[in-house]
Structure 1
């Protein structure tokens, strides 16, 4: 069945929810609003110091662990859990852990700044943030990547819930995040032109995923199938940090030059614990 003929079903948000808050300074209370499912997203403009974004970007491109991903083409340092067993993902994460750390440990690193701030805000609620674990093994701390796909989207429309349902990852604590809300975090350290964040007002359900045959991947949704839904297109610039509910279908539209980000996904597993993974 052609995807454009499938009527997507799921949850649509009201106008008060379906918008991004914009700030010029980091406000971790707004990030917690996204984690708790109280708002769609927030973007903090130009909050990564120029020296930090330059150093982190240079470390990324010089990293001996940098690879090129097919399918959704990108240069990256780190590991993807998408469409893999937990064992494969955690093994790959361990293999590149030191290289990831070398990149994100750049002086003034936004990864450290952001996580310290989120953890402090969570502490006020009796909770904390840490990297996800399974059987004593850790998820990747971050995924540093630069998109280079041609076409209308450099990252095709997708959502982040389906990939957490994979039976091959049974027992991995990230699957408990499905009982709460998924928060995608991106920190832009290099940007030329284009590459807007696009997000549609549809949080697909399992019936839609089954009809499209993407129950465990959440990828791809076509622009034609999404045409009936309200969309936001958010300009992303070098130095920006943004967080949003990754259960809503989203994409990165066409970009030219380099668009390099430090990324991870996070969510509550219970009232006291937020975990992150890539």
Structure 2
């Protein structure tokens, strides 16, 4: 049940609570492209809004990426994302957060000078084990759908963004939805704004926190009316924790080497890290037309 006189007064018929709200987890050898396809095309698989793939890549591959990332952080004096008043993270790679398409694509070009050497420090098969890009291309080409980077004129989205999450207070990453950001992309017709149903978030756990750092997903998908009332339109961040106290939620511990696909139109966040570090590699995915799925960061 929802907390009275808070969310319930702000909801309307366009907002969604999933039936059979749940998640699916499998080992790498049992990965099912049809489940990932359902999440991206339909937003769920029989009520499951999260698909976790355990042990997708090895500890050695993870450590190689950590080492390259840390070296680049040292070289760039902390990465390319200064604190924006919302998310405190050390980052290599571009983000579309709060940016129109042209601004984002320009950032991709600039930040690729640092990102590409980090990714290219891995062998081809190691990159694939983390990001599953070729796997997804094959899953969707069999359905007559192109899977690739989002485009704006002559520019393209980033392959991935790498982040080590720093202290953001009570949560490492506060409750948010990632669909909200598409409204800014509409301003200059960046094609991610055509996402039909939901934004799916892909994340790889490169470095796992020893204490805390749990992925938390709430069974609540807000709409633009709620974002406007809470003052988070255009960014979807942050939603007040106290408004979510009585909302059904999942908490999932992620280990080094795990990857997941999440319907990121549902509110989600990461609990505070009490011990160790949390480093992830991520991108967003959207179905923008009958025969096209794109990713961006």
Output the TM-score relative to the length of structure 2.
Answer: 0.87
Runs of 4+ deviating beyond 3 Å: 110-113
Equivalent residue pairs, number: 272
TM-superposed CA distance for 1:112, in Å, is 6.4
Contact 1:42–1:242 (Cα < 8 Å) also in 2: yes
Quick check: which one's strand share is greater?
1
Once the 2 structures are TM-superposed, how far is the Cα of residue 277 of structure 1 from its aligned partner?
0.5
- Shifted more, 257-266 versus 61-70: the winner is 61-70
Q: Structure 1 CA distance, aligned partners of 2:131 and 2:282?
A: 14
Which residue is 1:273 aligned to? 292
Supply the RMSD in Å over aligned alpha carbons: 1.8
**What is residue 11 of structure 1 aligned with on the other side?**
16
The superposition leaves residues 143-193 of structure 1 with CA deviations (integer Å, 9 ceiling, x where unpaired) of 10010114221011100111111166431000001x222110000111132
Q: Which moved more, 1:168-177 or 1:223-232?
A: 168-177
Q: Deviations over 1:66-98 (max 9, x none)?
A: 235313111100111111222221111100113
Query: Aligned pair 1:50/2:59, yes or no?
Result: yes
Q: CA, structure 1 residues 220+111, in 2 after alignment: closer, same or farther (shift >3 Å)?
A: farther
Residue in 1 that maps onto 2:103: 88
**Unpaired runs of 5+ in structure 1?**
none
Counterpart residue number, 2:204: 187
Asked whether the 8 Å contact 2:56–2:129 carries over to 1, the reply is: no
Equivalent positions of 1:189-268 (< 5 A) are 189-193=206-210, 194-255=212-273, 256-268=275-287
User: Normalising by structure 1, what TM-score?
Assistant: 0.92
Given the superposition, is the C-alpha separation of residues 53 and 111 from structure 1 closer, same or farther in structure 2, using an over 3 Å criterion?
same
Is residue 209–residue 277 contact of structure 2 (8 Å, CA) maintained in 1?
yes
Give the unaligned 5+ runs of structure 2. Answer: none
Pairing 1:60–2:69 present:
yes
Indicate conservation of the 8 Å contact 1:56/1:109, yes or no: no
SS for the counterpart of 2:284 is: strand
- Of 22, 25, 30, 2:35 maps to 30
